Structure formats: C-alpha cells, structure tokens
Chain A
Amino acid sequence: MSDEGTAMLDAQIDWEAIRRAKNFFAKGPAGESLHQLGRRVAGGRLMTIERVGDQHWGALTGILLMDDALIRILVRETDPTSYRTRCILHEFGHVLCGHKRCTALTAVPSPADDGSLLDVLRGNAADKSARAYLCTRPTHEIVGERTAEEIARLGEAHLLKPQFNLDERSWAVA
C-alpha cells in the first residue's frame, strides 16, 4: 500500500477512542482472561457470546446486538478459536466506543433455518431500540470499523500472556 494510502487510512481512526481503550485495558488485573475482560466491557449489563452455524455468514466475521440491558455477540461457529477471539474483541471495541449507529440490517440475506444467524437477527430486528452491527474486517474505510479493529488488536496484546506466566516468572532463574 502507498504511504499516501496508509496516511489516509490512519486519519480514519478515532484516536481518542483508542487512547481510552488503552487506559481501559491497562486497568485490568494481571493475567486477565477474555471472560473477565468481557465482564468489564459489559459494564453492568449481561453479555452473551454465541457461536452460530456457518450458513449465511458469507464475509461477515461478527455481529453485535446491544440494548441497555443486554449485549449479544455472535461469532461463526466454525472459525478457529484464536480468530473467533479476535472477532469477539472487535465487538468489544464497538461496545467500548459506544457506537450507536445501526447499520446494514436491511442488507441481511433471506431467512434461514431455525437456530441460524438470521433467526437470531430476526428475533432482534423487531426491537427498534437494539443497535446492531454487522461487522466485516477493515479492508474498507469506515472509521468505526477501523477503530474497533485497532481496539481488538490492543485487546489481543493485553490478553496474550503465556498460559503459565506466573509460574515461569516465579521459578525461572534467568
């Protein structure tokens, strides 16, 4: 990508939101798990993270449905665990940014079988107070998506600790 192209993309990130997210992660306990982080992100609301089957996902990577009491994050069931985690962190990014705009529900494909992604969305579409994001990866240039992805990268760095970090730090002699 050209330097000009990179500069243009850099301008399309909410750096203030990134700074707040960095502080947010820094306040977490040492060795914080994804589950514990989710509870902090939810800020008093119930959060569910649901693995939904493969049908109709297409290029989507995650979906966030949010109201004042509940945050629902949907990810594709068949994605590898580490990729699914990144998708979840991306949705956490949207929650932390407080994004309110409802996007692309009209772009949802036609209904499908029970338990599928679309049934879940149908169940929520009737609730106009729900804010929904259909999230794709940041090859396009929407500020919210790029910001959420940068927050996901920071979240991943925060979580990426060796599994037995405490033990290694205690026992290692060099």
Chain B
Amino acid sequence: MTILQQLALVLLTASFLLRLRLLGQPASAWRIAFSPPAIYPWLACGVGALAILTQGVVWPQQQLDGLLGSSNVLKLVQDMLTVLAFTLCAWTALSVDENRMTRKSTVSQLIQLVLMEIALVVSFALTTDRGPTDYLFVEHQQGRPAVWLFGSIYLLEMIYVTFLMLRGIRGRRATPYRWYRIGGYAVITACTLELFDLSTSHFAPIAGLRGIGRALFDPVFYPGVVAIVATIVSFTVAPWLRERSVRRHLEDVSATIERHDLIAPAPCDRAVERLADAVTIVRNAHVQDPIKLSASELDDLNRAEAFLQLKFGYALDQDHERITRINPGQAR
C-alpha cells in the first residue's frame, strides 16, 4: 500500500482518538461533542479510517474479504464507507453556516445518503460471479455491464458528495480551507479520470488511453484525502497553538507590568482577556503617565497588540477609513 494511504490512515485514526481527551470532562461536554453537528467530523475520521483499512493497509485484503465470503464484498464495504465519510464531511461543511443546514435540509441530506448507499448495494448485487478477492476487481471486470454500472455509480456519488463538500464552505476564508479545496478538487479529478477510463474502456476503448485513469487515481485521490484530513487537524490544533501564544505574550507583558509596578490585570476567565487588559494597562501607562519602556518591552507590547489584532480581529469593519459611519438599522 502507498505511503499516502498509510499517512491518511494515521491522521484519521489520530484525529478520531483525540476526542477521547474528553474523558474526565463533564457530561455536558460529552453531550455536545457527540450530538450533531459536532459529531460529524469525528465520525468522518473514524469511518474514513475504516475505509482505508479495507484497502489492506494493516491486514491483507484477502483476510478481510475472507470474513465476508471472499467474493469481493469488501469492495462494496469500502465504497459504502468512503461515500459515508465524505458525506459526513459535507454535512460538517454545511453546518458551519447554520443557515445552510436547517432541519429540513438535514432530513433531505439523510435521505440522499440512504439512497446513495442503496444504489451501491443494489448495483453490487447485480454483479454475480465476481470471482476471488481482487483489489482491482472493478477495473479487471469492467467489460461486464453490471460491474461497470457498480463502479460508475460509486464514482458519480463521490463526485457529487465532494461537490457538496466544496459548496458547503463557499465564501469561508479561514486559511486551512485552502488545503480542503485543493483536496476536494483532487478527489473530483481522480474520480472523473477513473470514470472516463472505466466508461471508455467499457464502451469504446481508446488505444493508448486505457488504464490511464486507474494509474492516476491513487496518486491524485489519496493526496486529496490527506489534504482534507489536514484541514480537520489544522482546525483542531489551532486553538491549542493560539492559547500557547496568548500565554507567552501574557508572560512578556506581565513582566513589563511587574517591572514598572503597574496595577495587575483583573482576574478573567480567559487568558486572552487578561492579555488584552495587560496590553491596555501598559499602553495607558506609556501614553498617560509616560513610563520609559525599554526597546524590548515596547517590542513585546507591539507584538502582543499585533497578535490580538491578527488572531482575534475585533477592529471596525472599515478600520482603514478615517471616518466610520454606523447608520442606525444598517443591514450588514
């Protein structure tokens, strides 16, 4: 198996297991974490990891398929799990903006998922005499209409669901989405090439092009999966990294406060509030009652202010304008 499949498996499994850190937290935290929509990305990681396991990354496919009758039923399981994992990602994307995932659209999305899974099962059931376990079962038997149908339905569903994933984050600006978009387009490209290859090979083989879609599938699809998982990991670790930076800046500015015997910041629930208070205390003293800040103290202050502005951005909408007008009842 490729290194990308292994990397995807490691990232998905680690992300799935990370939620176990909730052990020891109150029941209310568990209730939130395991209710929609919070549960979607976690389930997507778990289901995605299972889907990759069916590729034989840890246990050989022959062994796994053997548990299911050694007639390539594993391929059906793999495809159903993959469609489910991507659908859960799509639901997560749609849930970010609450207006996009209403109760009605949730029911509609669930019905779509059920229909897609039924379509896979029915089309797979039509493929009789599949032969022994074969990793490339669809590609090797694509000349059979039922096998072509099964393979095509799976690829079309993947293209559709990935489009939903991309549509769900339309207009969202956070940096990790850059990888998410690259990953989404890679998956769509891989599935489209494979579908083209499958269909042309079945209906009108083109000399010299046969097998190219298959050959390109893994090198394009799995980097796409890794990019999407990297997005989930990025959003997961961002708050931890940011909190570390807050505490580091707070230490620096608090040291300045101590050295100049200024009033300490008020006790606050969050470290970032204490940092904002500390920054104001030092800046006030610098402006009002001029204390002499050393070059490094001023540097610490400026960096803390810039950090607050960058990571918590609470300036006016048109902060670059000299005059900002806030009209009563203005729609924004």
**B231 and A171 within 8 A (CB):** yes
Tell me the B206-248 residues at the A interface (CB within 8 Å).
Answer: 231-232, 235-236, 238-239, 242
Complex CA gap A59/B284 in Å reads 9
Interface size of B by Cβ–Cβ distance < 8 Å? 66
**B311 and A35 within 8 A (CB):** no
Q: Is A1 an interface residue (CB 8 A)?
A: yes
**B327 and A46 within 8 A (CB):** yes
**A48 and B315 within 8 A (CB):** no
Interface flags for A34-52 (1: CB within 8 Å of B; 0: not) read 1110110010111111110
Complex CA gap A159/B273 in Å reads 10
Residues of chain B contacted by A142 (CB below 8 angstroms): none
- Please name the residue on chain B nearest to A137 by beta carbon: B284
**A172 and B236 within 8 A (CB):** yes
Residues of chain B contacted by A15 (CB below 8 angstroms): none
**B41 and A170 within 8 A (CB):** yes
- Please name the residue on chain B nearest to A164 by beta carbon: B174
Complex CA gap A103/B227 in Å reads 59
Tell me the A151-174 residues at the B interface (CB within 8 Å).
Answer: 153, 156-157, 159-164, 166-174
What is the distance, in angstroms, from B172's C-beta to the closest C-beta of chain A?
A: 6
Tell me the A116-156 residues at the B interface (CB within 8 Å).
Answer: 136-137, 139, 153, 156
Interface flags for A92-130 (1: CB within 8 Å of B; 0: not) read 000000000000000000000000000000000000000
**B95 and A81 within 8 A (CB):** no
Stretch from B12-20, B54-62, B124-132 contacting the other chain: B12-20
What residues make up the interface of A, taking CB atoms closer than 8 Å to B? 1, 33-36, 38-39, 42, 44-51, 59, 61, 77, 79-86, 88, 136-137, 139, 153, 156-157, 159-164, 166-174
